[in-house]
Amino acid sequence: MLRMLLIFFTVLPTVSYASWNVVPDQTININVKYDQASNQFYDLSAFGSDLIEVSIVNGNEIKIKHGRDGYKGVVVPAYESHRYTRNSFPENRSHTLVGRSTNEAITIDIGRGSSKVMGMPTSNSINHYDGYGCSTTDTWTATFTNYEVFHSKTNSVYSGDWCIGRYSNLSQYGSFTFPNDGGQIGYIERYFKFSLDVINSMPLDEYVGTYLSHPTADVIRIGSSNFGRELYRYVISVNLKPSVNRFVIDNENISFSVNKQASQIKGKSQTGFDIRGSFHNSQAFDMTFNSSNSALCGEALCLLNSAAGTTIPYMVNVFDPATLLEKAVSRNGQKVTIYADQDYRLSGGLFFEFDTENTAVSGTFNDILTVRVELKLI
């Protein structure tokens, strides 16, 4: 008996139907302070990306350039087709920041500038065309075989735009993994614009909001699917913080006008002071007075004649412009509270006086009086 064993070999094409792994959402934190008195933003900082560049432009806009960290380490299977798309029309063009304490709201404009993102090694591609309000160009690099980089530039930062880049097929030689450096993958430019009239009228508070980008606004993705979509969460904090920018005493060298009356010697002098900064009407300030000679007068404010070794205690009356009262200071380290009677400025007065029954004192008396001003925060 003859038996025949037939073996059939079937060769099937290796086709991957796997999709991209998840592109995780990213959070970019932006923190800045604003001084209403000088109309200036300051202490600007940002974090949340391998690439962070942040600056104030035109006096009222925050510009941030950050990396494409969402794509870090993302694996794209072989044989997948992909395309570059930019469409910022679905994005919200404004956003609201809300005060933590006051619940007041500041509405800001949201803009989108230029962007760049790396493509992948490709075996072929179809020419791109531009849409509305922006233009896309692509360059090639030797870093990878047939490796593309897409650059998009908007015509107007605060208007929507739509660009469609190349439709490309991934190289047949294997899957592609994005680098672990968000700055190498590309960048996005964002703008956050404030109305100075609005922000100057707001109560002092920390205003916070979270803006979400549209997940398919600027992506490399499979066909027209949402695979590869990239979402950025921008947490924005603007602190309208009360502050003192300037404290000036009109005359720092005080000379007493001295009169001898019967068994007493009296001396008087005065000077004004001015406080400027970011604060509102009725803001409280603490003023503290320290005398360099206080130990010689039982911790009172003290004038000293160092040649004769004699002393004269004295006091200061602080004029409060809001209450129109004079608040007496006679002890070393004593603190009084005064209040602003207008926004951004407090102008008051210091009235010095002494009264001694020691008519035998004579000569030159001195003291170094240190005056400290602090915002009184509740």
Nearest to 350 by CA among 314, 374, 316: 316
Are 81 and 169 in contact, with CB atoms under 8 Å apart?
yes
Q: Does 205 lie in the same domain as 308?
A: no
Q: Does 206 lie in the same domain as 271?
A: no
- The pLDDT of residue 173: 56
Instruction: Identify the H or E element spanning 196.
Output: helix 196-200
- The pLDDT of residue 121: 72
Q: Does 224 lie in the same domain as 250?
A: no
- The pLDDT of residue 222: 64
Residue 15 lies in a domain: no
Q: Does 345 lie in the same domain as 260?
A: yes
Residue 4 lies in a domain: no
The three-class DSSP label of residue 156 is coil
Q: Does 230 lie in the same domain as 99?
A: yes
Residue 5 lies in a domain: no
Structural domain boundaries enclosing 340: 244-375
If one counts every other C-beta atom within 10 angstroms of the C-beta of residue 38, the result is: 14
- The pLDDT of residue 104: 96
Q: Does 255 lie in the same domain as 218?
A: no
**Is the four-CA dihedral 294, 300, 301, 302 of positive or negative sign?**
negative
- The pLDDT of residue 89: 83
Residue 235 lies in a domain: yes
- Tell me which of 191, 209, 241 is where a domain ends: 241
Res. 125: pLDDT tops 70: no
The values of phi and psi at residue 71, to 5°, are -90, -5
Residue 232 lies in a domain: yes
Residue 16 lies in a domain: no
Nearest to 228 by CA among 51, 27, 75, 116: 75
Are 212 and 90 in contact, with CB atoms under 8 Å apart?
no
What is the average per-residue pLDDT within 118-142? 71
Residue 113 lies in a domain: yes
Res. 205: pLDDT tops 50: yes
Are 363 and 305 in contact, with CB atoms under 8 Å apart?
yes
Are 64 and 48 in contact, with CB atoms under 8 Å apart?
no
Q: Does 195 lie in the same domain as 281?
A: no
Instruction: Write the CATH number for 352.
Output: 2.60.40.2040
Residue 10 lies in a domain: no
Q: Does 280 lie in the same domain as 229?
A: no
pLDDT tens by residue, 219-269: 776 656 666 778 899 999 999 988 888 999 999 999 999 998 878 899 999
Give residue for tokens 């109305």.
Answer: 195
In the chain, how many domains are there?
Answer: 2
- The pLDDT of residue 318: 98
Q: Does 85 lie in the same domain as 186?
A: yes
Q: Does 235 lie in the same domain as 100?
A: yes
Query: Confidence band (pLDDT; 50, 70, 90) for 20?
Result: low
pTM (two decimals): 0.75
Q: Does 61 lie in the same domain as 32?
A: yes
Q: Does 134 lie in the same domain as 60?
A: yes
Res. 376: pLDDT tops 90: no
pLDDT tens by residue, 142-190: 544 556 778 888 888 998 787 766 555 555 456 778 888 988 889 999 9
